[in-house]
Amino acid sequence: MSTTFVWPVRVYYEDTDTAGVVYYANYLKFMERARTEWLRSFGFEQDVLIRDEKLVFAVRSVTVDYRRPALFNDALEVTASIRQFGKASIDFEQSVIRNTRDQEELLASGKIKLACLDSESLRPKPLPSPIAEVLLSVR
Amino acid sequence: MSTTFVWPVRVYYEDTDTAGVVYYANYLKFMERARTEWLRSFGFEQDVLIRDEKLVFAVRSVTVDYRRPALFNDALEVTASIRQFGKASIDFEQSVIRNTRDQEELLASGKIKLACLDSESLRPKPLPSPIAEVLLSVR
Amino acid sequence: MSTTFVWPVRVYYEDTDTAGVVYYANYLKFMERARTEWLRSFGFEQDVLIRDEKLVFAVRSVTVDYRRPALFNDALEVTASIRQFGKASIDFEQSVIRNTRDQEELLASGKIKLACLDSESLRPKPLPSPIAEVLLSVR
Amino acid sequence: MSTTFVWPVRVYYEDTDTAGVVYYANYLKFMERARTEWLRSFGFEQDVLIRDEKLVFAVRSVTVDYRRPALFNDALEVTASIRQFGKASIDFEQSVIRNTRDQEELLASGKIKLACLDSESLRPKPLPSPIAEVLLSVR
């Protein structure tokens, strides 16, 4: 069973829209922050991966279900866990949660598929072993 | 067969990221611009719908497949067509296309499900007849 | 006296915040769109300038005064005119205007200073003659 | 002498542009996050201020000088300190700093003027006493 990583995100004015809620595209930003911090938690910095390994991650597809709106000033938790991975791809399962005194509300859930690419040719490139090992360990 | 609406979108610096491509969340902005202009092309202004009909559209789910990256300065076309609709929901099929001299490249395609809500109670609200009639006519 | 360039900008959901107005940072996006289109109106494409001349423009400073808020769905006009320019810099004066039936409202005005840089060394680089000529002609 | 508040900001992909640096408008987002957290550090939550006091802050003017670019993955510090304040206005001085092993680099500095408004009439409204007291104490 996959370990779940959790990253806190605060909602600022910049994230909201005139409907009084977080703008729907911005959940994708929150989810990417959590994926970036998930990688960082294992010691992988994406600027180093580009520079030293010519490796970039590209988003291949996203699916997001919006259940309840997040509001200005909300303190959210964004999760990231691994659904599966291949030689040159990682599938994340993510959710955006609001914790209030009494309850935990699921606001949005997403499936995000990443491809691992060579930063120059933009062709698929196998995940470096250290990342593959982490993926095996948290699966 | 559904009629397809097309809206031009130019890529500016604001839309790109350090990978040199349009940031993945921003395709959702482009798709919403096309949906807004689709509605406007039939005479429906969302600020008037809120004020006079207490009607708002909320995004319930999105699925986007990213095929090729859009680049700074690209002149894109964003399409919107109706897949289906219900009493209080509309499902759009959308694509982001780059037209160059010789070819038409599909960069991204998406399915976006909207709910029609009462702007105060945020409960589902039937589509107003004039919008339902348009949906029947373009289906 | 400087010629004024005008570029239309429509306000979408993405531009607004929970206060029901255009988010203050987004006026800078609107102003940049107008500067980009100003350049394009004279035949200068920034992707070509980077590729062929290794030239990029960097914003050195901005000052914006906010008078009245722009709202969702507003059809705005964003102006760009040249205040002055140097060997490797351009100072723009810009405004964001809302035209309604009876009146023209100034919503925001800005002064934006650009530096012309070598895209590799990031050091100041003289404006190419064709751009300098345009600047002289519209001053 | 004013006390300086410091808030950490990490640069994600969402913040960057195709020039490989943080997009110039996004420094305004970073500065607002720091102002919001400055208020929060004294116990003032803006959603509560709107609901209970019908009080909102509106940005009246901004001036930003850009010295050096912030890059993807940078760990920044954003400062906020009070330059002066009036009956219904606060002037902030802010900076964006990058701390690396050996040095502290000033990337951008800004002056931001806020007006305190009634959230319904949008007319100036005196700062509530508890906020005025804090401003006096940190000046």
CATH number of the domain to which A14 belongs: 3.10.129.10
* Order of strands across the sheet that contains B104-118: A5-10, A75-85, A89-99, A104-118, A55-66, B55-66, B104-118, B89-99, B75-85, B5-10
User: Which pLDDT does position B139 carry in this prediction?
Assistant: 77
Q: Which of A17, A66, A71, A74 to mutate to test the interface with C (most CBs of C within 10 A)?
A: A17
Closest listed residue to residue B32, CA positions, set C34, C15, D26:
C15
pLDDT band, very low/low/confident/very high, at C3 (cuts 50, 70, 90): confident
Range of the domain at A122: 5-138
Q: Say what the ipTM of the complex is.
A: 0.95
Closest listed residue to residue D135, CA positions, set D88, D77, D97, D95:
D88
Cβ neighbors of B79 (< 8 A, separation 6 or more) are: B4, B5, B6, B7, B34, B94, B95, B96, B97
pLDDT band, very low/low/confident/very high, at C30 (cuts 50, 70, 90): very high
* Token couple for A65: 């279900």
Q: What is the pLDDT of residues D45-99, one digit of tens each?
A: 999 999 999 999 999 999 999 999 999 999 999 999 999 999 999 999 999 999 8
Q: How far is CA B12 from CA B75, C82, D17, in A?
A: 10, 21, 10
Chains contacting D (3 or more CB pairs within 8 Å): A, B, C
Q: How far is CA B72 from CA B18, B19, C28, C61, D66, in A?
A: 11, 11, 17, 23, 22
Q: What is the pLDDT of residues C81-136, one digit of tens each?
A: 999 999 999 999 999 999 888 899 999 999 999 999 999 999 999 999 999 999 99
Q: Which of residues 46-75 of A touch C (CB under 8 A)?
A: 71-72
Which residue in chain D has the smallest CA separation from A50?
D72
Indicate yes or no: CB of A17 within 8 angstroms of CB of C17: yes
* Residue D17 and residue D49 in contact, taking contact as beta carbons nearer than 8 Å: no
Q: What is the pLDDT of residues B22-36, one digit of tens each?
A: 999 999 999 999 999
Catalytic amino acids of C?
A: 17
Residues of B in contact with D25 (CB under 8 A): 14
Q: What is the pLDDT of residues B76-126, one digit of tens each?
A: 999 999 999 999 999 999 999 998 888 999 999 999 999 999 999 999 999
Indicate yes or no: CB of C61 within 8 angstroms of CB of D66: yes
What's the number of domains chain B is made of?
Answer: 1
Cβ neighbors of A83 (< 8 A, separation 6 or more) are: A2, A91, A92, A93, A111
Q: What is the pLDDT of residues A104-130, one digit of tens each?
A: 999 999 999 999 999 999 999 999 999
The CA distance from A45 to D8, in Å, is: 18
Nearest chain A Cα distance for residue B33, angstroms = 12
Cβ neighbors of B127 (< 8 A, separation 6 or more) are: B85, B87, B88, B90, B116, B135
C14 touches chain A (CB under 8 A): yes
Residue appearing with tokens 């989810």: A31
- pTM (2 d.p.): 0.97
What is the Cα Rg of chain D in Å?
A: 16
Which amino acid is residue D34, in one-letter code? A
Residue appearing with tokens 């209080």: B88
3-state secondary structure of B1: coil
Which amino acid is residue A110, in one-letter code? G
Nearest chain A Cα distance for residue D73, angstroms = 7
Q: What is the pLDDT of residues C73-90, one digit of tens each?
A: 999 999 999 999 999 999
Overall residue count recorded for chain B in this entry: 139
Nearest chain C Cα distance for residue B97, angstroms = 19
Q: Closest to A25 (Cβ–Cβ): which among C14, C19, C72? A: C14
